[in-house]
Amino acid sequence: MKLVATEEERDLAAAMRDLFATHCPTTLVRALREPGGERFPQKLWEALTRAEVFALPFGEDVGGSGGTLDDLAVVYAEAGRALCPSIVLNTLHLGLAIDALAGPEQRAAVLAPLVRGELRGSVALASPYDAGDVRPVLRAERVTEGVRVSGRVDHVGDADLADRLLVTAELATYGEPARTIALLLDPSAPGVTRTALPTSDGDRGHAVELDGVAVATDSVIEDVDLATLRRVALTVRALQCVDMAAGAEAVIERTVAHTTSREQFGRAIGSFQAAQHLVADMHIATQAARLAARSAVFWLGRGRPGQRETAVAVLKAATAYRRVTLDAHQLHGGMGYVLETDLHLWSERARRLGVEGGGPDAAAGWIEEAIGLV
């Protein structure tokens, strides 16, 4: 037990902060959301590949560096501070899911190129409204060379950029109980329709419609264990909480910098007690979120089901990030409210990550379940 960053964690954090400062400035974040512009952060991707970020949490058997989920949390914190584009994180989510669910051949087939930065991906493993709900929404049937799958999954991140999309489906076989399988889809395959669901922050989730899409046997993961699936979905959610807590920290730093340099009534607005107390409350909420998020990742990485821990993390991180950004707008005044300044970029990420996979309401429900209130 020691709730202090280790020297290795501090070194990794410093290296990642440098990398993102160089390769992920807010100008890149803005450029990626321009309508009609390039959506893929090529240079950042290359830098992350060189830094072996895609290799970090995976085993040496697939070319990974054998790090832990805790190491990945350090990366997520810096990614969250810098508003790292979602295709990077979604690709890591695909890797985590394959690592947990797939057999040796499929692991090698997906993780080896992923680790080398040669494969982009995304996942749709749980309800986008509730990461604890992993009941499949797609329906599959067995055919000679594999399965055919139909149905619609909503709010799939980066479905336009991904080479592979991991989804789950219920496989009905006559005379047998229905089973859950996972499928590695090529989103550009015949029968797949991707419809962008545009949001005000330019981030493009998609509705992915499958109309009898053929998936070959080697892309099917048979017999998915729902408990494992749920743990992967919660792991993704817990990592997003790390992202949120760190994003909130970055917003506090920007806000403090603004309020200590901006003068009104002949003194820095950061010298007013009301402003300081708002910052203190932002700090308290953020520290609560940071500890809860790291705790959830830690326990998930050690094999706990993690529902309660992740729920605590979501409750704290989703509320903290949103509150911190809104209070930051208050402390910046008009100076932070216009689109020429960057603050709204974090506010939008807070809004998105706060709800994707279930916000505080869903998380409270997970706790009620975990402590036996329902």
Partner 1 sequence: MDFELDPGQRQWLQEVRAFLREHVTPALVAELAEHDLEKRDGELAAFRRKIGDKGWFGLNWPTEYGGLGLGPIHQHLLVSEFERWGVPGPDLTVTSVAPMIMRHGTEQNKAEFLPPIARGEMVCAVGYSEPDAGTDLASLRTRAVLDGDEWVINGSKIWNSGAQRSTHEWLCVRTNPDVPKHKGISVIIVPIDAPGISIRPLMAWSGYRTNETFFDNVRVPATNLIGEVDKGWRYITGALDLERGALTNAGDLRRAVDDLLALAREPRRDGVVPVHDAGVRRRLAELDADVEVATLMGFEAASLLEDGTIPSVEVSTEKIFTSELRQRIAEAALDLLGPDGLLGHNTAAAPLAGSFERLYRAAPLLRFGAGTNEVLRDVIAQRGHRMPSYGR
Tell me how long the chain is.
374
Long-range contacts of 189-196 (CB under 8 A, 24+ apart): 189/213, 189/214, 190/214, 194/159, 194/160, 196/160
Comparison of 197 and 268: residue with beta carbon closer to partner 1: 268
Specify the DSSP element, H or E, that contains 183.
strand 179-185
Give the residue, chosen from 133, 268, 305, 352, that forms a contact with partner 1 under the rule CB under 8 A: 268
Give the residue, chosen from 114, 126, 279, 362, that forms a contact with partner 1 under the rule CB under 8 A: 279
Q: In a 3-state reduction of DSSP, which class is residue 283?
A: helix
Give the residue, chosen from 178, 216, 338, 371, that forms a contact with partner 1 under the rule CB under 8 A: 371
Give the residue, chosen from 311, 345, 353, 355, that forms a contact with partner 1 under the rule CB under 8 A: 311
Comparison of 130 and 309: residue with beta carbon closer to partner 1: 309
Residues 46-75 touching partner 1, rule: CB under 8 A, are 70
Please tell me what DSSP assigns to residue 137: -
Give the residue, chosen from 272, 326, 337, 342, that forms a contact with partner 1 under the rule CB under 8 A: 272
CA pair distance 212, 265, nearest whole angstrom = 67
CA pair distance 32, 23, nearest whole angstrom = 13
Specify the DSSP element, H or E, that contains 194.
strand 192-198
Which span sits near partner 1 by CB under 8 A: 223-231, 309-317, 337-345, 347-355?
A: 309-317
Comparison of 214 and 367: residue with beta carbon closer to partner 1: 367
> Which burial class, exposed, middle or buried, applies to 274 when counting CB atoms under 10 A from its CB (0-12, 13-18, 19+)?
exposed
Provide the pairing of β-strand 179-185 with 146-157. Answer: unpaired
The verdict on 315 binding partner 1 (CB under 8 A) reads yes
Do residues 147 and 183 make contact, with C-beta atoms less than 8 angstroms apart? yes
Comparison of 132 and 270: residue with beta carbon closer to partner 1: 270
Which residues on adjacent β-strands are paired with residue 138?
169
Quote the least distance from Cβ 310 to partner 1, whole Å. Answer: 11
Q: In a 3-state reduction of DSSP, which class is residue 272?
A: coil
The verdict on 374 binding partner 1 (CB under 8 A) reads yes
The verdict on 13 binding partner 1 (CB under 8 A) reads no
The verdict on 277 binding partner 1 (CB under 8 A) reads yes
Which span sits near partner 1 by CB under 8 A: 75-83, 199-207, 235-243, 256-264?
A: 256-264
Please tell me what DSSP assigns to residue 136: -
The site for partner 1 (CB under 8 A) is made up of: 1-6, 9, 70, 252-253, 256, 259-260, 268, 270-273, 275-277, 279-281, 283-284, 287-288, 291-292, 294-295, 298-299, 302, 308-309, 311-312, 315-316, 363-365, 367-368, 371, 373-374
